[in-house]
Chains A and B, each alone.
Chain A
Amino acid sequence: MKSRASRRAVNWIMTGLCGLGLVLALIPLVSVLWLVVSRGLAGLSFDFFTALPAPVGEAGGGVGNAILGTLYIVGIAALIGVPVGVGAGVYLAERGGGRAGDAVRFTAEVLSGVPSIIVGIVAYGLVVVPMRRFSALAGGVALAVLMVPTLARSTEELVRLVPGALREASLALGVPVWRTSLRIVLRTALGGILTAVLLAVARAAGETAPLLFTALNNQYWNWRADEPTASLTVQIFNYAVSPYQDWHDKAWSAALLLLLLVGALSLMARLLARNRFRVRR
């Protein structure tokens, strides 16, 4: 039997190692945050949020159209991707026992491992080529394809977490199976599913590669789904690879903005997850 002192020593060492791991994990996170904030904060002004990009050499200008474009493209992606992803997840959990379910599950797994740039090429082939133009719609389709597999799998997991006793309780009240799925099972899992949706949207908002040859970019305001559309990520990319210092600074500011946007979505997801089982008064 080990002595009390040696056990205590091991305890201290192990706790210390855990703390060290935490610090190591935090270093890249904090340094990225610090770098983006320190370089980007100066460029944030009212104009930056609302104005169009200025030509090289001209002072001022902003990324208003890119903010709008990101929201627009991600909105289209959510409109397409969320119903498909959540629907597939509910199907997998409720009816996905057989061969068809396995096929869908396998497809989702493979799809979630496909690099996002390849999804971009697929959307290029599916939407851009037939329409003969780059468009917000093409970008939305690409991001939707990225959202579907993760959404389907997480929805499946969340629906499976709903206790079978609740399903039985509803069926025993004479509620038909489909309505039980919808009003009891899905409703109970809804908080978690909303969290998963927000996280998927946040991830999609941070994608650059699939937008490069789908939504392309646009220096002006665009409200049309069939026109090339600016996005924060592509704008950051273009600014960052340019040779101009002014554009580099703008890239940092846009990066900070994107970080805030994604962070806000994740935070909302967290809050939703926390309130999952709280009944409205």
Chain B
Amino acid sequence: MNDVARQRNSSKIVVRNLNAWFGKTHALRGVSLEVPENTVLAIIGPSGCGKSTFVRCINRMHELVPGAKQTGHVLVDGQDLHGRGVDPVDLRRRVGMVFQRANPFPTMSIFDNAVAGLRLNGIGGNLAELAERSLRQAALWDEVKDRLHHSALSLSGGQQQRLCIARALAIGPEVLLMDEPASALDPIATAKIEELIRELREALTIVIVTHNMQQAARVSDATAFFYMGELVEHGATEQIFTNPREPRTEDYVTGKFG
């Protein structure tokens, strides 16, 4: 058995010496880390430090940007994402993503949004049942069950974001990437999303990018601090916030810069 196959048991996501570029900008520099199954990894760091680029490498969205390039390895379930026979389209069904700004499809109803991934990918099944399940998972069902066929845009910002989470969950991903999912939301909506993340951890592996350090402390098992494209420190969340090894981490989490 080789090294790669052995990772299957311990870690859901393995990143080895990942480098990423936008044109000539070197956005990620030799990042290596692992995310165990059913845990939440929070990525913190100042703007432009490569947090978003990092998560976008895990579902191969990074390569869609013109001029983007990357080296190194990202493995999900021990499978190299850039290995032969890996279709990015299939991969993205296993690794879901939620964006900073809620982006429901404006031409679709709440129901249609929830099952959009199933319909667009031609996945059959009982759509009504699947829609209810994913909307319940996203803690949105009770608020929308009486108006499933209203426009998705009739929802509030926080509800729209939970709808986007439901949409991502409906296709049954194993990993959920969240790129600052609550940064455009008010505190109550944020609290709901955070509660949701803690619940979803039972079924999924989650990587969440956040600007909000309290949020990272509240929802994550492990935290990674990025700075200028480098992974400065990665460890248990409690350790990062109470006893960081690196002075730069300490400066950042105590608010000296960033």
Q: Cα distance A178–B22 when bound, in Å?
A: 24
B89 & A175 in contact (Cβ 8 Å cutoff): yes
Q: How far is the CB of A260 from chain B (nearest CB, A)?
A: 32
| A174: contacting residue among B108, B151, B152, B171, CB under 8 A | B171
| A183: contacting residue among B64, B106, B120, B150, CB under 8 A | B120
B104: A residues at CB distance < 8 A:
169
Q: How many of chain A's residues have a CB under 8 angstroms from any CB in B?
A: 24
Q: Cα distance A157–B58 when bound, in Å?
A: 32
B99 & A174 in contact (Cβ 8 Å cutoff): no
Tell me the dominant secondary structure on chain B's binding face: mixed
Q: A28 in the interface, Cβ–Cβ < 8 Å? A: no
Q: How far is the CB of B66 from chain A (nearest CB, A)?
A: 8
B112: A residues at CB distance < 8 A:
279
| A165: contacting residue among B94, B103, B109, B121, CB under 8 A | B103
Q: B208 in the interface, Cβ–Cβ < 8 Å? A: no
Closest to B92 in A: A174
Q: Cα distance A172–B150 when bound, in Å?
A: 24
Q: A2 in the interface, Cβ–Cβ < 8 Å? A: no
A171 & B164 in contact (Cβ 8 Å cutoff): no
Tell me the dominant secondary structure on chain A's binding face: helix
Q: B167 in the interface, Cβ–Cβ < 8 Å? A: yes
Q: B90 in the interface, Cβ–Cβ < 8 Å? A: yes
Closest to B90 in A: A174
Q: How many of chain B's residues have a CB under 8 angstroms from any CB in A?
A: 35
Q: B25 in the interface, Cβ–Cβ < 8 Å? A: no
| A172: contacting residue among B96, B106, B109, CB under 8 A | B96
Q: How far is the CB of A167 from chain B (nearest CB, A)?
A: 9
A143-183 with Cβ < 8 A to chain B = 163, 165-166, 168-176, 179-180, 183
A174 & B103 in contact (Cβ 8 Å cutoff): no
Closest to B177 in A: A172
Q: Cα distance A179–B64 when bound, in Å?
A: 15
Q: How far is the CB of A164 from chain B (nearest CB, A)?
A: 9
A173 & B96 in contact (Cβ 8 Å cutoff): yes
Q: How far is the CB of B118 from chain A (nearest CB, A)?
A: 9
Q: Cα distance A169–B181 when bound, in Å?
A: 13
Q: A111 in the interface, Cβ–Cβ < 8 Å? A: no
> With A169-B164, A175-B89 in contact, is A188–B106 under 8 Å at CB?
yes
Question: Which 6 residue pairs of A and B lie closest in terms of their CB atoms, listed nearest first?
Answer: A174-B93, A173-B117, A174-B92, A172-B97, A165-B103, A279-B151
User: Besides the contacts A171-B64, A174-B89, A184-B120, what 10 more A-B pairs have beta carbons closer than 8 Å?
Assistant: A165-B103, A166-B106, A171-B92, A172-B168, A173-B92, A174-B94, A174-B117, A176-B89, A190-B107, A279-B112
A–B Cβ pairs within 8 angstroms, 18 of them: A165-B99, A165-B101, A166-B106, A169-B103, A169-B105, A171-B92, A172-B99, A172-B168, A173-B93, A173-B171, A174-B91, A174-B117, A174-B121, A175-B120, A184-B120, A187-B107, A277-B106, A279-B108
